[in-house]
Amino acid sequence: MKKLLLSLTLIGSLFSVSQAQNFNYPYVASTTLAVGAMTNLYLGSARVGQIVVTAPFSTNATANLVDTYTGALTNYVPAYTNVLSYGTNNVIYYTNYFGVQTYLTNFMLVDITNNLVAAYTNNLPTVPLSVLASSTAVINNANYPFTRGIWATNTGTTPIAITINFVPQ
């Protein structure tokens, strides 16, 4: 009975180690966020493979992983001009030398320059995270690409702990 209990304990400890470290994504970043806080986990392009989210208190916790260079949650794109091009038929009616009215149909490419595109604000890509009260959620094989950087923000009403396993790209 002791050998069975010992072997089950060893197997369980191996399973818990494999949950904690994802060897395909060797870099690890961890943080604990207060309510309304935002912090940088990594600057640069990376692919996140595993996310571990923990709610330490008896309240459900929510957070976002944001793909941004800075702590901004939105991206402002200023006004700019571009060129629009489209194809159309160009039909020319004319009277020839003999007095016969006829027409020619040609395909024509039209370019419109000075087309003003208004400034706009768009939301940056986010990965929403949530975990039940006093528990831990593990997302394995996530494979989330981040091109700017990885920032974490607490969107809930209780502190939250986040650990990510990633590989820089």
CATH number (domain holding residue 43) = 2.60.120.340
Asked whether residue 19 is domain-assigned, the answer is no
| Domain membership of residue 156 as a residue range | 24-73+123-168
Q: Is the pLDDT of residue 117 over 90?
A: no
Judge if 29 and 69 occupy the same domain. yes
* Banded model confidence at residue 66, pLDDT cuts 50, 70, 90: very high
* Banded model confidence at residue 7, pLDDT cuts 50, 70, 90: very low
Instruction: Say how far apart CA 27 and CA 167 lie, in whole Å.
Output: 6
Phi, psi of 47 (to 5 degrees): -120, 120
User: What is the pLDDT, as a whole number, of residue 18?
Assistant: 42
Instruction: Using a cut of 0.85, tell me whether the model's pTM lies above it.
Output: no
What percent of the chain is predicted at pLDDT more than 70? 86
Closest CA to 133 of 164, 159, 162: 159
Judge if 33 and 67 occupy the same domain. yes
Number of domains into which the chain is organized: 2
Place of tokens 């024509």: 108
Mean pLDDT of the chain: 84
What percent of the chain is predicted at pLDDT more than 90? 52
Q: Is the pLDDT of residue 55 over 50?
A: yes
Place of tokens 């072997």: 7
